[in-house]
């Protein structure tokens, strides 16, 4: 049986690709079923991998195989020059899963801009600003007005998935790309923002426990985009705030997003209408309010704290009880998601429509469209039909 002849990639590029992807030697070696010493020898130039081994590396790193034959490693800016600072994530220390997610979403954004230019389309501008000294209530109210979601509409939503779909569409209408990034642990990132213009990105981890939680995370990220527009935030690589100063920014975004989801007057009316609290804001009381507004109980608790219905100590106590309660529950299945559901959930409607328009006008071919959407071409007719369906009436990944 003939063996594949070795090829001669650039060892420096092999090493760069692994480090840039965030992988330790041992994890890559295990995936390729070789010893770590063997992989190290490839990167040192002592041993030459076969073409098949290079192709396996390329698939694992999500890079083209031809990259390994460059004369020098690519000169790329750090990922932390794109995303907002994330609690617990050090620039350069992102997990491989988070690094890949950021890279994919950044590429999707660049593709969107290129296709809009090719199609002669208008690039929307996200112009909302927020400033720490104005207070979260004022910023949240301004965001709510810009989203143009009326209280009657909100309280008439038939399900939490419908609520999520409408909030997502409202944010997209502001000139923000809304993406979802699978495979990243919630402990590392519930949401993130790419602070780039035009078309900044607000992204949500679909591992969030409920659609209500996704809605809260989404608006939280939009507030961070507003703060960046107001020169109150920098990308992670340049953010200088530390300790409590940074936590103040997080708390502002948390409270402002809760005000956007629940206006002050509506909160007071709902509390009075339900005769709350009955038991010092126990879990049942908060869940009743959450159902009224189709948001998560944690978002309601945040809202109650912001408006003085809960003290800081009472909020922390309630939050600890809520976390213990949720951990005691069996995880719920989100149901079966079709390839079309997954593609639309990851990329969102504006990006998907733009790709399909470029395809229909012969600006791009089927292979490129399938690559951009992460969807086999055979599913495209179903994808077109899914775009016609009103958001919130289809699958849970909408």
**Which residues are paired to 179 by β-bridges?**
203
Residues of the chain with CATH 1.10.260.40: 11-69
pLDDT score of 395 = 47
Question: For residue 313, what are the CA distances in angstroms to 242, 278, 279, 308, 310?
Answer: 23, 19, 16, 12, 8
Q: What is the rounded CA–CA span in Å between residue 50 and residue 120? A: 45
Q: What pLDDT was estimated at residue 397?
A: 55
Which are the contacts of 49, defined by CB distance < 8 A and separation ≥ 6? 6, 7, 9, 42, 57
**Encoded tokens for 325:** 């309660």
pLDDT in tens, the chain (398 residues): 555 555 699 999 999 999 999 999 999 999 999 999 999 999 999 999 999 999 999 999 999 999 999 999 999 999 999 999 999 899 999 999 999 999 999 999 999 999 999 999 999 999 999 999 999 999 999 999 999 999 999 999 999 999 999 999 999 999 999 999 999 999 999 999 999 999 999 999 999 878 999 999 999 999 999 999 999 999 999 998 888 888 999 999 999 999 999 999 999 999 999 999 877 899 999 999 999 999 999 899 999 998 999 998 999 999 999 888 887 876 555 557 899 999 999 999 999 999 999 999 999 999 999 999 999 999 999 999 999 876 655 444 55
- How much is the pLDDT for 390? 63
* pLDDT given at position 290: 92
Residue 331 pLDDT: 53
Q: What is the CATH number of domain 11-69?
A: 1.10.260.40
Predicted local distance difference test score (pLDDT) of residue 229: 98
Helix pair 297-306, 211-229: axis angle to 10 deg: 50
Peptide bond into 261 cis (omega under 30): no
């Amino acid at each position: 049986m003939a063996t594949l002849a070795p090829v001669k990639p650039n060892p420096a590029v092999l090493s760069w690709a692994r480090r840039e992807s965030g992988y330790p030697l041992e994890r890559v070696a295990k995936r390729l079923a070789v010893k770590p010493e063997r992989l190290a020898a490839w990167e040192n130039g002592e041993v030459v991998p076969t073409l098949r081994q290079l192709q396996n590396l390329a698939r694992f790193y999500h890079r083209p195989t031809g990259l390994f034959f460059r004369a020098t490693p690519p000169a790329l800016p750090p990922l932390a020059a794109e995303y907002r600072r994330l609690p617990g994530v050090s620039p350069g220390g992102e997990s491989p899963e988070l690094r890949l997610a950021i890279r994919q979403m950044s590429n999707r954004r660049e593709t969107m801009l290129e296709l809009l230019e090719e199609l002669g389309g208008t690039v929307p501008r996200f112009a909302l600003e927020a400033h720490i000294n104005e207070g979260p209530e004022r910023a949240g109210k301004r965001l709510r007005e810009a989203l143009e979601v009326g209280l009657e509409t909100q309280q008439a939503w038939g399900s939490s998935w419908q609520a999520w779909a409408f909030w997502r569409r409202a944010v997209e209408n502001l000139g923000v790309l809304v993406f979802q990034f699978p495979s990243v642990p919630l402990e590392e990132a519930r949401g993130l923002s790419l602070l780039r213009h035009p078309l900044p990105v607000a992204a949500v981890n679909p591992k969030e426990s409920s659609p209500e939680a996704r809605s809260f995370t989404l608006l939280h990220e939009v507030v961070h985009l507003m703060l960046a527009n107001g020169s109150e935030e920098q990308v992670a690589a340049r953010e200088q705030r530390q300790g409590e100063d940074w936590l103040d920014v997080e708390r502002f975004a948390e409270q402002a997003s809760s005000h956007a989801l629940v206006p002050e007057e509506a909160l007071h009316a709902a509390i009075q209408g339900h005769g709350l609290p009955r038991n010092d804001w126990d879990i049942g009381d908060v869940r009743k309010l959450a159902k009224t507004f189709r948001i998560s109980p944690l978002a309601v608790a945040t809202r109650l704290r912001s408006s003085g219905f809960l003290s800081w100590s009472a909020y922390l106590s309630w939050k600890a009880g809520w976390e213990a309660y949720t951990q005691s529950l069996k995880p719920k299945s989100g149901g079966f998601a079709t390839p079309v559901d997954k593609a639309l959930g990851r990329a969102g409607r504006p990006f998907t429509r733009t790709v399909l328009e470029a395809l229909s006008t012969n600006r791009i071919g089927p292979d490129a469209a399938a690559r951009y959407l992460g969807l086999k071409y055979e599913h495209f007719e179903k994808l077109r039909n899914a775009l016609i369906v009103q958001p919130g009436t289809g699958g849970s990944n909408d």
